[in-house]
Structure 1
Amino acid sequence: GVKGYKVAGKTGTAQVPKEGGGGYDPNKNIGSFIGFAPADNPRFVVLAKIDEPKGVNWAESTAAPIVGEILQNLLNYYQIPSTEKQ
């Protein structure tokens, strides 16, 4: 999560076509997460797309943490007031 802020977003996981056609490669996928913050009055939108993630195949474990870190840095750098009660 992003400390002090409400964040909204959507994960995505997509299959990768086999080279030469004929379906999808069962060992490859693409994970993505698009997030925006603050959720109630967005100032920033960030998208992370991970091609063939290693270890974990789900976007909430690969792409979402990257978006969270970038959003946290942006909100802090631009001194956007916190939207969560401390």
Structure 2
Amino acid sequence: MYAFCLGAGQQSMGNPEKGWTPERRKLQSEAIKRWKQWEQSTGPKSPEGKAAVSGNALTGGQSVQLREPTKTINSLHMASRERVSNLKTS
């Protein structure tokens, strides 16, 4: 944790780049249990918000299924560009 992020009376827990010590991990776990952020999350309420997040599954769920077809399409596209380039030079 960086010094500028610390509140009054808190001490730095070392260099964050070197990983988490067991003590730091325990303190963070206790803090998260106190904060209970999962109880404050309500998700979108308005129709606009619901519409905005409705496509979130595409970023993780469906994109995995589209990976192979996308590779095939890209390779076909590159092959066709190469053929056109060869036609122009001959």
TM-score, scaled relative to structure 1 = 0.24
Q: Which structure's relative contact order is higher, taking Cα pairs within 8 Å and 6+ residues apart?
A: 1
Higher strand share: 1
TM-score, length basis structure 2: 0.24
Specify the structure having the higher radius of gyration (Cα). Answer: 2
> Which structure shows the higher helix fraction?
2
